[in-house]
Structure 1
Amino acid sequence: MQITRLFALLLMVLEWTCPGLSSPLRPICDLRVLDHYIKEAWDAEAAMRACKDDYCIARNFTVPLTRVDFDVWDAMDIEEQAQEVQSGLHVLNEAISSLQAFNQTDLIQSHIDASIRNIVSIRQVLRSLSIPEYVPSTSGGEDQETQKVSSISELFQVHINFLRGKVRLLLGNAPVCHQGVS
């Protein structure tokens, strides 16, 4: 049943993002789409928490900060908020992608692969809301504050918190979603 829902969601995203269509990309304003990705992140984190020592990787991962100072967030314009979210997604993608270099069980590898695909899909959702894609800074400096975590479980906990926090705030307040378009 879950595969059927995932397939239907994938078809919807592909329909909206198909480059051959002459109609513009329709905004994806339904937060249930994000809820689907959050649930999958929960599943991945639970699998990582249960992972046996032989398959767990003990190393530091750079991840975005997930705490939100609402006064600062509200003072930011939508482009600054979008840049912070896109930058955080980029950092998460880099950290989760780094796990592919390690020999993992099939179950853990499937969660890693799904998480990477979900980040790509979230970027497509943001693109549907006319939120520009992330372009890494050429100055070599960090675009946002980061922190280090030392386990895969912590990495996926940050992933969940980032989606539930900053990504949800950005999607929930996207101007295109409040213009009578749904």
Structure 2
Amino acid sequence: MGNRRTSGTNLEDPARGYADAAMEFPRLLTLLLIVLEWTRPGLPSPLRPICDLRVLEPLILEARDAVVAMKSCREGCRLSESVTVPQTAVEADVWSKKTALEQAQEVQSGLWLFQQALNLLQTSVTNVALHNHIDNTIRNLLTINAVLRSLNIQEYTPPANVAELQGTWRVSSATDLLQVHFSFLRGKVHHLLVDAPACHQAVS
């Protein structure tokens, strides 16, 4: 399994190289916007760049592509054990009653759970093509955490025991894991960015 990325030849596949470069672009764009936001002069602006939800759209599309790829996989694409994932449903009335800190911690705990689950998936899956999607998904989690830090959302401290977290459930399928991740981005992550106080302050 340690050689899962090694094929019978050392030649790089040009098509795969172009595909990897294309998938890197959304992350680079998002990180560039973060850097620009951190370094721009204190001039009035109608909207902070990172508050533009279009920066989240490429990450959601990549999450969807990972689900599609996993569904089409027939060999070497199983989880070795079940994993804990967050609930993804967002009830507007319940969500609106939470404080900004509670909303942020709920999203951050979910991102942390996905990090643990995807690390396990990364070691469980032997299908080389799928590893590209898994690696991209893990990098996208880091990008989203960087986005949250750019909005002055404090860094998350993981619990000592996963059982301490509320609003979670377990999945045993790799496809289910990626589907939940996709739904989480479209749901709670999207809502958190919409409701972020820093974004509202930018247009007030």
For the superposition of Structure 1 and Structure 2, which TM-score range results when normalised by the shorter chain? 0.7 to 0.9
Q: Using the alignment, how far apart are the partners of 1:140 and 1:157 within structure 2?
A: 21
* Alpha-carbon contact 2:115-2:141 (below 8 Å) kept: yes
Structure with higher RCO (Cα < 8 A, 6+ apart) = 1
Counterpart mapping for 1:119-158 below 5 A? 119-138=141-160, 141-158=163-180
Larger radius of gyration: 2
- DSSP 3-state at the match of 2:89: coil
Query: What is the root-mean-square deviation of aligned Cα atoms in Å?
Result: 2.7
1:141 is displaced (CA, Å) by: 4.7
> Unpaired runs of 5+ in structure 2?
1-20, 43-47
The letter for the 1-side match of 2:177 is L
Letter in 2 for 1:30: D
What is the TM-score normalised by the length of structure 2? 0.77
Closer, same or farther in 2 for the Cα pair 1:143/1:35, shift >3 Å?
A: same
State, as a whole percentage, how many aligned pairs show the same letter: 46
Report the Cα distance in structure 2 between the residues aligned to 1:139 and 1:61, rounded to whole angstroms.
Answer: 14
Calculate the TM-score normalised by the size of structure 1: 0.85
In the TM superposition, what are the counterparts of 1:32-181 in structure 2 within 5 Å? 32-52=54-74, 54-58=75-79, 59-138=81-160, 141-180=163-202
Contact 1:63 1:155 in 2 (8 A): yes
- Looking at structure 2, the residues matched to 135 and 114 of structure 1 have their Cα atoms a distance apart, in angstroms, of 24
Number of residue-to-residue matches in the alignment: 178
- Tell me the residue number matched to 1:2: 22
Code of the residue aligned with 1:85 in structure 2: it is V
